[in-house]
Amino acid sequence: MIDSHCHILPNLDDGPDSWEEALDVARIASNDGIKAIIATPHYKLGVYHNSSQTILLSVNQLNNRLREQGIPLKVLPGMEIHFYPELINDLQNGELLTLNNSPYLLIEFPNDIHLSSYIEQYLFQLQLNGYIPIIAHIERCFDFVRNIELLEKWHNRGIESQLTSASLNGIFGKKIQLFAQRTLKKGLIDYLVTDAHSVSKFGRKPILSEGINKISRIIGKEKALELVTTNPGRILTSNRIAKENREVYVPDNHQNESYD
């Protein structure tokens, strides 16, 4: 399995506070059957200003520690970018990271933001520039909860969606849990992710298997597994965005791995 949204890098945001805790996250994920994690520390103006080079260095260091500890897990670079108007410019000048330097871009909106036509047009501009927007934790975007037709409209236009596994347990409330189930039934989810921040923080552990079991009862096991294998696998193997002096991390023998 592949987890395409995880705050595993230490001391960059509200994730692990130490390398030891980051390794604990990795052990739990590996024991759950996760073979690759895309590290997605927050990028939020005025709060978390993680440069692309800082993240790449941290990913490199963590992978070295994973090898030393014999933990069979690969960590790949990315960001969870809090939406702001200068996003496209900062992508193009190398300030921001896509997921594994692929065309896929993880964007976070405030839960209570009004997803206006301006934002829709902005996402369209990202697509015109060759990016594939992925919206983080769509089940906690209240505009979608109030108006699932908006999510359907965006999804039909190629904007992809992530669902946090723990939402299916009801940790964010019954309403969000039921909405998550509804989006799955309508085929609006492209990725199941942990959005883990530590081994226990916020009730979101680096575990996908529990969510897959729940989803399998809703849409069947084959389609459920696509959310943690086939779909995130595209991020690992898609055409890369060329960036000078920027390494792309691809798990060894990725073409022969199923990540299940």
Q: Give the pLDDT band (50/70/90) at residue 110.
A: confident
Average pLDDT over residues 153-173: 93
Tokens of 22: 């980051």
Return all residues near 86 (Cβ < 8 A) that are at least 6 apart: none
- Is pTM beyond 0.85? Reply is yes
For 62, counting Cβ atoms within 10 Å of its Cβ (0-12 exposed, 13-18 middle, 19+ buried), the class is buried
Tokens of 25: 């996250």
Distance, CA of 135 to CA of 197 (rounded, Å): 18
* Helix or strand holding residue 134 (H, E): strand 132-135
pLDDT at 251 over 80: no
Three-class SS of 141-170: CHHHHHCHHHHHHHHHCCCEEEEEHHHHHC
Q: What is the pLDDT of residues 180-189, one digit of tens each?
A: 999 999 999 9
Answer whether 9's CB lies under 8 Å from 197's CB.
no
Say what the pLDDT of residue 242 is. Answer: 41
Answer whether 171's CB lies under 8 Å from 137's CB.
no
Average pLDDT over residues 219-223: 97
Distance, CA of 183 to CA of 171 (rounded, Å): 17
The distance in angstroms from the start CA to the end CA of the chain is 4
Say what the pLDDT of residue 256 is. Answer: 38
The amino acid sitting at 80 is E
Say what the pLDDT of residue 214 is. Answer: 96
Distance, CA of 182 to CA of 115 (rounded, Å): 20
The single residue listed with the structure tokens 């987890």 is 3
